[in-house]
Structure 1
């Protein structure tokens, strides 16, 4: 009889554990409800201007906290914690200036759907890239490395530093660019100002790729800095 009771208790315990596990799994798979009401309107008004200029189409998801929607407040303002980046998953602060004052943090997700470049075929280390080696894809840029290539001009005259698998996002650190200017090369150094342009001859002090900053020694030994243009001219910044 005692053995039967022990067996029955074990069955009951097992059933309870399975029920709890099932409930936990169900809860884990349930997405938080979107935040609504005045708090959501305040967050939208705060973030909307900051989302302008993103490199793609943005969307914002704001979740209702597990504890429920924030209390009503007639003087509510939103803010981002110090150092927070408006990209991917983040917390948005809500601060009530009324009575009683309170502060809450709301979980949000900013997605940015845009175009990026990926390897159209396997690329070997040391290989010079051609147009056939890359293809334009669309995806959530917040889920990709920050260094993913968004501008095809960055692939011009690029060489792979490492092997790159088919379909992999092309990242800047995986590539290097052939120098457009080599050390000792005679070049034109252009200086622009309000209403004038001055061009002088000089020699490049180092190799430099398109868009890179290079030192140029001009007549008299003075060394100036400028940015390499696509035509090989070095232009001093204003």
Structure 2
């Protein structure tokens, strides 16, 4: 009898607490689901949007691809009205991928009253769709790449490493530093040029000027790939600097 009464007493005592825990759990799950289903920020809109768009398009001119821009409303909400919004980039900001754009207003004149000046930062995304190159097969370290070893792809370059290769001349004839998987984007640090000048090698020194070309011979002081700087010791014992050519000759610096 006492045991049954104790069980009834325990159930009556613990039930409200259990219900409270269930209610808290349901509320937490509802909040989590609400956050997970929340849409992306709404477009900015308002008079400042076209000003920001024009600013970003002008600043991004010359990027290697087709530029598209999206501008979102700041977390703080829509921008206040402004007669002449001024757009700027924070120091060190780069128009590449996600960026925060500054907007300032010196105040808006409404009749005899002038609204206060303000400054806000607006989130934006600068996509740059362009061509880049990927490996068509697995490439082992030390292999020299030919035109058949890579192919072009199109995509948003801002989502790829900044050293991505966008010109086939940057890959053709280059040597893989390490293994490159098939389909992997090619990056500049994965490749190096073939050595065209060896230390101690006799090389042809070429000097070009207005209407003349002169040449002599010398001995290379260091190894060099095509396009790299190389020092050469002339037959007279003088050390001069030049640029290694693909054919192994050296063009003297002016």
- Name the TM-score class by shorter chain: 0.7 to 0.9
Partner of residue 130 from structure 1, selected from 143, 146, 151 = 146
Trace 1:50-89 onto structure 2 (pairs within 5 A).
Answer: 50-89=59-98
Deviations 1:75-128 (A, max 9, x none): 321111111111111111112223522211111111111111111111112222
SS of the residue aligned with 1:180?
Answer: strand
Contact 1:189 1:216 in 2 (8 A): no
Distance 2:65 2:128 in 1: 6
User: Which residue of the partner structure matches residue 36 of structure 2?
Assistant: 25
Distance 1:211 1:109 in 2: 37
Contact 1:210 1:230 in 2 (8 A): yes
CA change 1:75–1:12 in 2 (3 A) is same
Q: Which has the larger radius of gyration?
A: 2
Runs of 4+ aligned residues of structure 1 deviating over 6 Å after TM superposition are none
Q: CA deviation at 1:131?
A: 2.4
Q: CA deviation at 1:164?
A: 1.2
User: Which residue of the partner structure matches residue 112 of structure 1?
Assistant: 128
1:97 aligns with 2:106: yes
CA change 1:20–1:46 in 2 (3 A) is same
Distance 1:214 1:58 in 2: 40
Distance 1:176 1:131 in 2: 16
Distance 1:169 1:43 in 2: 33
SS of the residue aligned with 1:94?
Answer: strand
Q: CA deviation at 1:10?
A: 2.8
> Structure 1 regions of 5+ residues with no counterpart?
none
User: Which residue of the partner structure matches residue 15 of structure 1?
Assistant: 26
TM-score for the superposition, normalised by structure 1: 0.86
User: Which residue of the partner structure matches residue 211 of structure 1?
Assistant: 227
Deviations 1:172-226 (A, max 9, x none): 111121123333332243344xx55553434343222222223344565444434
Length, aligned pairs only: 234
Contact 1:76 1:96 in 2 (8 A): yes
Distance 1:180 1:229 in 2: 8
Contact 1:190 1:233 in 2 (8 A): no
SS of the residue aligned with 1:135?
Answer: strand
SS of the residue aligned with 1:189?
Answer: strand
Task: Indicate the RMSD between aligned Cα atoms, in angstroms.
Answer: 2.4
Partner of residue 198 from structure 2, selected from 168, 174, 182 = 182
Q: CA deviation at 1:132?
A: 2.5
Distance 1:228 1:133 in 2: 26
